[in-house]
Every structure is written in C-alpha cells, then in structure tokens.
C-alpha cells in the first residue's frame, strides 16, 4: 500500500486522472515512490521499454550517422550562466550545493539537523548545475571545435535532465531522460532535418499503435518577457510537439518535440558555418519516460499483453 | 518616432541604424530577433513610462516603428 492510496481512504477527495494513473503505476510496480513528486524509481520492465524504444529511435536515425555523446546530468555552472537559461526558465533550474565549511560549521550543521531546523544555509553553490536539457552542454563543446564542415554536424545525445516542477502527473517528472538529435549547420540544412523528423517521428510513433497529433507549441518561458517569447515562438512556428493522450484526452502529453532555434545558440556560443555565417540549430527531442508511459497507458501495464506487432517492433 | 528609433538603436541589435528605416519597414527583416524584441519591449516601457498589456506582447506589436508608435499611442490614450 502506498502513501497515495492511504491518503485517499481518509480523504475521499477526487483524484485527478493523472494521480490515478500514478497510483496504477506504483501498484503495478512500474514506478517506485520516493516520497517526492516527480522523483521515481523505475522497474526492470519499465527500463526494458526505454531500452527497446531507444533501439527503435536508433534504427530510424541510423542513416543520418549522428555522432553520439553522453554527458553526465550536470553542466558546468559557468556554461549554464552563459546559456541564458536563468533569463527564460529561472523557475525550473536546479543548482548543486555542497557543504564547504570547517569543523565548527559542521557541528552547527549537525545541531540544526538534530533540531529539525534548516541545515541548508551553510550549503554553497558548487561548479555544477543540473542539466535542464540534453543539448545544453553540447553547444560550447561544438564551438570549441572551430568552424563547421560544409555539411554541418549532427549529434545524438542522451541525458537525465532536471526541471523543478513537482507534480502528481507521472508524465511531468523532475528527473527524466531526454534523447536528442541536434543538427547544426545552415538554415536550409537544419530546417530539412527538422522536417524529416516531423515525418519520421509520426511514422515511428504511429507504428507503435499510439494515437497522436502534432501541434504548434511554446516553451514555458518565465514572466512577461516570457509571454512575449512564447508568443513569438508560436508566431514563427519554431516549436512543434508530437502529442499523445496519457493522463488526459484534452491535454495530451508532448512525447517528442521538434525545435528550430534559428541562430540563437549559434550566436550565443559563436558557432560558425563553413562560410563564416552564424550557425543555425534544430533538434528533435524524445521524452523517454513519457513515451514509455504512453505505451503502458495504451497497451496495459504488462508488456507480455501488448499487441504482437508493437512487441515485434520493440523487441524483434 | 525619433525616441522610438533611439530605443531601437539601444536595444534592437539591428543590422542598420534605426534612422535609415522607414516607419513601415519590417524590423524582423532588419535583424530584430525574438530575444532582442523582449529587450526592446522593456526599453520602450522605460523610455515612455508605459506597460504593454498582455495582448500586445507579441511579434506584431514590435514589427515596425509605426506599429510600435500605434501601440504606445493606444496605451497612453487608454491611461489618459
């Protein structure tokens, strides 16, 4: 019996569909409650689905011959500061702090802990910030390599990411995996890449017998300036999402996203094309846990019972 | 309009001086980016002591010097 079920038996308040699905996932043992919303353990069966989907993505992307890089789920604070993330999404960022005091400070820290008081005051910012999106460490890495070759570059990234948005919606985790293909090159090159993945992404997800739509979208930019950025993003068609109903039919979950950043990252990090122009970038992102959740939602908690053709695609 | 051009030069990061642009010239064609348009919006609010209402926080409002002037006139009139 988990915490959520107990609460429900005391307070017969209505649960949201998202919360009910989260309970089902806990009950099936697919996700493991840690006591923090959005921070869950994953079962072996859940991870099998993620691995199998990773394999399918690799097949669909194989012909592109992307360069794979796996960064850890932390980014250098200096690079994070330059990235401008705090301008747009200060509410989502997570910084890593550590104890850096002496013995006396340690004593007072332990006393605070013992007394149940705030012990975090002495924690100081380290040089590490939790990665907010898999591609953030990539741009400065590419910039360091000098001008792009004529055909541009293509990377295959995967990382755990952190976003501070606690929620009972299992499709809105605080720590989750994002796989991304990032194309860097001329405007024509990166737009053609995004177009091809808009097409490939829909074919791939439809082959898993998942109901989907593709729609214009915007990022959750912060504040009034953010309102304007979000409107601009929509007006110029810079972001599309592939949506699948997971916890709601009316508000389906974005499982893949297709983004054109124009020269935003190219200018910020001074990435130059072969002809000396600022490079443009585009990416396709896969929310790995969200895809797994969509599969469990539509095909059931037991993968043995999934449609044969879906099982064949994922596990051969 | 001169005041708008001054703010544009300061925050718009345009490829050309704002003085060289006609009132109806497309500022995005002149190099105004999404992020620079936010800085421009905040700069105009300071310079004209106005606050753009939410429905004006979009691309169209800042698409030309004339469009900016119309929007600021509208806000000023509404406040009067």
Which top CATH class is B2-79?
Answer: mainly alpha
Torsion over CA of A265, A266, A271 and A274, rounded to 10 degrees?
Answer: 150
Contact A184, A67 (CB under 8 A): no
**Residue A125 touches chain B, beta carbons under 8 Å:** no
The reported pLDDT for the residue numbered A47 is 98
**pLDDT in 10s for each residue of chain A, 316 residues:** 444 444 444 555 678 999 999 999 999 999 999 999 999 999 999 999 999 999 999 999 999 999 999 999 999 999 999 999 998 999 999 999 999 999 999 999 999 999 999 999 889 999 999 999 999 999 999 999 999 999 999 999 999 999 999 999 999 999 999 999 999 999 999 999 999 999 999 999 999 999 999 999 999 899 888 999 999 999 889 999 999 999 999 999 999 999 999 999 999 999 999 989 999 999 999 999 999 999 999 999 999 999 999 999 999 9
Q: Give per-residue pLDDT as tens, B18-31.
A: 999 999 999 999 99
Kindly report the average pLDDT of chain B as a whole number.
93
Same domain, A144 and A233: yes
The reported pLDDT for the residue numbered A12 is 56
The reported pLDDT for the residue numbered A14 is 78
Tokens of A157: 């990234």
ipTM, 2 decimals? 0.85
Whole-angstrom Cα distance, residue A243 to residue A266? Answer: 28
Question: What part of A 98-117 touches B (C-beta under 8 Å)?
Answer: none
Q: What is the DSSP string of A48-83?
A: HHHHHHHHHHHHHHGGG-PEEE---SEEEHHHHHHH
- Measured in angstroms, the CA of A229 and the nearest CA of chain B are apart by 6
Q: Which residues of chain B carry a pLDDT beneath 50?
A: none
CB contact under 8 A, B33 and A229: no
Residue in B closest to A226 by C-alpha: B38
Of B30, B35, B36, B21, nearest to B66 (Cα)? B21
Question: What part of A 57-86 touches B (C-beta under 8 Å)?
Answer: 84
**Helix (H/G/I), strand (E/B), else coil: A286:** strand
The reported pLDDT for the residue numbered A13 is 66
Torsion over CA of A227, A228, A232 and A234, rounded to 10 degrees?
Answer: 20
Q: Which residues of B touch A229 (CB under 8 A)?
A: 34-35, 38
Q: Which residues is A243 bridged to in the sheet?
A: A213, A254
Of A225, A262, A263, the CB nearest to B38: A225
Write down the domain spans for chain B: 2-79
Of A229, A262, A264, the CB nearest to B38: A229
CB contact under 8 A, B33 and A233: no
Would A112 be classed as within a structural domain? Answer: yes
- The total of structural domains in chain A comes to 2
Q: List the domain range (segments joined by +) for residue A179.
A: 14-94+132-315
Same domain, A143 and A115: no
Chains A and B form CB pairs within 8 A to the count of: 35
Whole-angstrom Cα distance, residue A201 to residue B14? Answer: 37
């Amino acid at each position: 019996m988990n915490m959520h079920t107990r609460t429900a038996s005391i307070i017969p308040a209505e649960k949201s569909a998202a919360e009910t699905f989260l309970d089902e996932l806990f009950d099936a043992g697919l996700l493991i409650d840690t006591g923090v919303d959005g921070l869950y353990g994953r079962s072996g069966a859940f991870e099998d689905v993620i691995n199998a989907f990773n394999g399918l993505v690799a097949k669909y992307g194989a012909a592109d011959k992307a360069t794979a890089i796996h960064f850890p789920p932390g980014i250098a604070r200096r690079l994070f500061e330059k990235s401008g993330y705090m301008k747009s999404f200060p509410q989502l960022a997570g910084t890593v702090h550590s104890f850096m005091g002496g013995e006396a400070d340690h004593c007072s820290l332990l006393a605070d802990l013992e007394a149940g008081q705030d012990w975090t005051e002495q924690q100081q910012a380290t040089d590490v910030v939790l990665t907010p999106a898999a591609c953030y460490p990539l741009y400065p890495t590419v910039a360091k390599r000098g001008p792009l070759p004529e055909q541009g570059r293509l990377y295959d990234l995967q990382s755990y990411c952190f976003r501070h948005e606690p929620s009972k919606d299992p499709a809105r985790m605080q720590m989750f995996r994002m796989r991304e293909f990032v194309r860097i090159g001329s405007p024509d090159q990166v737009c053609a890449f995004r177009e091809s993945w808009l097409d490939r992404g829909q074919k791939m997800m439809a082959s898993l017998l998942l109901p989907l739509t593709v729609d214009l979208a915007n990022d959750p930019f912060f504040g009034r300036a953010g309102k304007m950025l979000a409107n601009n993003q929509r007006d110029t068609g810079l972001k599309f999402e592939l949506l699948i109903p997971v916890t709601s039919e009316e508000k389906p979950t974005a499982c893949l996203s297709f983004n054109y950043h124009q020269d935003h990252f190219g200018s910020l990090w001074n990435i130059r094309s072969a002809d000396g122009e600022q490079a443009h970038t585009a990416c396709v992102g896969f929310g790995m846990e969200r895809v797994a959740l969509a599969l469990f939602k539509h095909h059931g908690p037991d993968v043995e019972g999934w449609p044969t053709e879906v099982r064949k695609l994922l596990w051969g | 309009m001169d005041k708008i051009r001054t703010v544009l030069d300061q925050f718009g990061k345009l490829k050309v001086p704002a003085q060289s642009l006609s009132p109806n010239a497309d500022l995005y064609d002149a190099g105004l980016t999404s992020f620079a348009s936010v800085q421009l919006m905040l700069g105009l609010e300071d310079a004209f002591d106005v606050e753009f209402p939410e429905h004006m926080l979009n691309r169209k409002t800042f698409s030309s010097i004339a469009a900016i002037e119309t929007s600021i006139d509208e806000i000023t009139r509404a406040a009067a």
